[in-house]
Structure 1
Amino acid sequence: MIVFAIGLVLLGMYFFLIRFYHRSWKRVPAFSIEAIDDFFPSEKISVIVPARNEEEVIELCIQSLLQQSYPKELLEIIIADDHSTDGTAEIVRRYQEQGVQLLSLKNQATGVRPVRTAYKKMAITAAIRQSSGSLVITTDADCTFPEDWVKTVAAFHQYSKAVFIVSPVRMRPDSTVLSVFQSMDFTILQGITAASVYVRFHKMCNGANLAYEKTAFWGVSGFDNIDHIASGDDMLLMEKIADKYPDGIAYLHSTEAMVETRPVATWKDFFNQRIRWASKTRIYKDKRLTWVMALIYLVNLGLFILLTGSVFQLNRLLFFVVGLIIKVLIEWRFVKEVSTYFNLSGWMKWFPVFQPLHIVYTVVAGFLGLIGRYEWKGRRVR
């Protein structure tokens, strides 16, 4: 009876949490360049792309960046090659005559302590040191961009006066189960990101589409004191900047600023990615985010226990199904609206079907993220 009551309390809290996100999502104002009557590009912007063994995707990324509508004389593109062992550097060199800069981390003094895990942070720091722009935009090598991406970010920066800008990321699925599952999961996180950042409930972002003032980066000493963990070039940096510039964080809600990224190719890569994301949880300073993640984990853990317990007691399967239906109903409207914005509403028919898998992955990845190591870009880190 006590367990049943705890379950009801958790589901009740979960209902109000998702309702809060849904209402906050609907409040986020859309932005367009037309909102600024007198916008004229004048700011030098540095786009930084850390890359390691990205020969399959880096060329498409560079071509997309070269098609940007922002004035070429005000746009700097830096590819920070993180000790790639494939043809990444050779591909980048082919575009140097078009202004693309190749920064090799081999023998580089990056300004980040040479710990075993901070490779991506080293790449970004080295690129920022080399950059000449006052506004830095970071993205990933597997991303592509609408042609007004940089221009929209620049306009929003002028409009909002924010020192740290979070922008949307869309994962484009193909027809495989893994890619559709990833895309839906990722899209939900994007909806939560927009809602939470806009109402300043908790901090959340994705490194595939971030912009921040260079002075703000150096103002918090870059990645100092967060360079002992492989990930965190996005969320942990956001926490540092928000501590010093509490009114300087903003969310850019615009499809013109939405970058596209690719799903990972294998289930192993997917779990490694999610374990890497979860590994940051133990060092977040944002207690609201910690409590939110704990609640979400406990709801999924409860359903996971019912699911696995049904192997021994069949009646638990009924409770699992009921709990699953309640969870789907709680999430449906929010997920539907967010999926529509990210042009993924056609996949909503699979949302209930993926729920058992989502529950299992949340529990397993969350647990391993707190205690385990994982593989990232061919490196074994923690």
Structure 2
Amino acid sequence: MLVATVFFSVFFGLYAVVLLLLLGPRPRLARHKATPRVSILIAARNEAATIERCLRALARLNYPREQLEILIGDDASTDDTREIVRRFIADKPWFRLLPIRHRLGTARGKSNVLAHLCRAATTEYFLITDADMALAPDWVHTMLAAAPHGVGVVTGITTAGGNLFGRLQGLDWLFGLNLIRLLTDLGLPVTAVGNNMLVTRAAYESIGGYETLAFSITEDLQLFGQIVAQGWGYRNIITPSALGVSVPQPTLRHLLHQRKRWMKGAVRLPWQLVVLFSSYGVFYTALGWPGLFPLGTAGMLYAGKVLFQTLFLAITLRQAGHRESLGVLLLYDGYLLLMSLAVLAYTAWPGGIWWKERRYRWAEV
């Protein structure tokens, strides 16, 4: 009982500290007045269902078109991705479609496409996103404002939309990314996220590019670690003008495939973040331990956790300029518990990792 009491005291104490940090002053990002040429890079494989949404959002960016270079790398798509892109960019010369058919160095899959795109890019700034993302109109200005001299990598904020299942996934994105942002603000390098990321050419070339890195299916985490190791600065930002809205995973099966890939990268995360995420598992283990707490006490502990979590999400939504109903916020805890158990079981189940309709062995990634 004493150990459990200490754990819950520390658990809620940490939550209180996190909320205080969330409510504390944040440095304001001044609008980037200069408009240097920038390259927006998109790796695409079988994205026929989503890529036009992404391209339309990029076509609406509040940035001079003559200063934009938008490169889409087609990774041997077997659907209509190429034709959809060709039709959309036919009258937009600042967009280019590049077929990717051979490997550069050690790169494979998405990292190989990005290696090709970085070689083809002609600017000093690489803004990287995914084909299922829609970015805010001021995305480029905001990401540039967060990358003064010495900063090599910047991560924006991401959520997801759609039906209830998709919006719960969106809360997952917001919860995890804002927690990472808080740790980053405390000087702890955690990770970058490759669907909403800026990398400077100087930082990218200082590590030799994707073609010199050991293959990884969490290429964004790998790139971030290598850039930070070279002494470059890093930032994670949350503001409405850096918000990207992803298309959610359509089914539980697709979501489990995605999360198993993420779990591979989780083993490389800093111990502080691993401890924070692991505390959730300990919380429910202790709460449900037979006879450890009276039912009323267990109910109060659970209600306290949901309250703190809902406050965290509500503040995060306000900072990101996004809206969600209270009912969905309250449903999030049940979703989080069920998904955590499902992901742990699916990850432990023997088998490979499916990513962009390719299968990879756990040991090779």
TM range (shorter): 0.7 to 0.9
Say whether 1:90 aligns with 2:71: no
Selected match of 1:40 from 21, 28, 34: 34
Show the counterpart of 1:23. Answer: 20
Q: What do residues 196-249 of structure 1 show as CA deviations (whole Å, max 9, x unaligned)?
A: 22222341332111001122112123346864432x222222122112125x11
C-alpha contact 1:46 1:136 (8 A) present in aligned 2: yes
CA offset digits 1:32-83 (Å, max 9, x no partner): 41xx6xx221x22110011111111111211221222222222111111122
For 2:54, the aligned partner's letter is C
Distance 1:352-1:153 versus aligned 2 partners, 3 A rule:
closer
Contact 2:42-2:129 at 8 Å conserved across structures: yes
Aligned residues: 357
- 8 Å CA contact 2:257, 2:354 repeated in 1: yes
SS of the residue 2:191 aligns to: coil
**SS of aligned partner of 1:195:** helix
CA distance in 2, matches of 1:201, 1:11: 25
Residue 72 of structure 2 is aligned to residue 79 of structure 1: yes
* Code of the aligned partner of 2:234: I
Normalization by structure 2: what TM-score? 0.87
SS across alignment from 1:346: coil
Q: Secondary structure at 1:154's aligned position in 2?
A: helix
User: Which residue matches 1:275?
Assistant: 260
Q: Does 1:144 align with 2:134?
A: yes
2:160 matched residue in structure 1: 171
Query: Is the counterpart of residue 105 in structure 1 residue 100 in structure 2?
Result: yes
Paired with 1:219 and 1:63, the residues of 2 have a C-alpha distance of 33
Match for 1:109: what amino acid? R
Q: Distance in 1 between matches of 2:187 and 2:97?
A: 37
Percent identity at matched positions? 21
- 2:359 alignment partner AA: R
- 1:138 offset after TM fit, Å? 0.5
Distance change (3 Å), C-alpha of 1:185 and 1:263: same
Asked whether the 8 Å contact 1:138–1:208 carries over to 2, the reply is yes
Equivalent in the alignment of 1:245 = 231
State which of 325, 330, 337 in structure 1 corresponds to 2:315. Answer: 337
Q: What letter corresponds to residue 121 of structure 2 in structure 1?
A: S
Q: 1:364 aligns with which of 342, 346, 350?
A: 342
Go from structure 1 to structure 2 and tell me whether the alpha carbon gap of 1:249 and 1:367 turns closer, same or farther (over 3 Å shift): farther
Q: What is the TM-score with the length of structure 1 in the denominator?
A: 0.83
1:263 aligned onto 2:253: no
Once residues 97 and 215 of structure 1 are traced to their aligned partners in structure 2, the CA distance between those partners, rounded to angstroms, is 32
Separation (CA, whole Å) in 1 of partners of 2:106 and 2:91: 30
Unmatched 5+ stretches in structure 2? none
Structure 1 pair 28–225 and aligned structure 2 pair: CA distance change class (3 A): farther
Aligned partners of 1:52, 1:279: CA distance in 2, in Å?
Answer: 21
Letter in 2 for 1:112: T
Deviates more, 1:291-300 or 1:82-91: 291-300
When the two chains are superposed, the root-mean-square deviation of aligned CA atoms in Å is: 2.8
Residues 44, 74 of structure 1: 8 Å contact kept? yes
Q: In 2 relative to 1, CA 240–300 (structure 1 residues): closer, same or farther, beyond 3 Å? A: farther
Change in Cα spacing, 1:250 to 1:283, as seen in structure 2 (3 Å) is closer
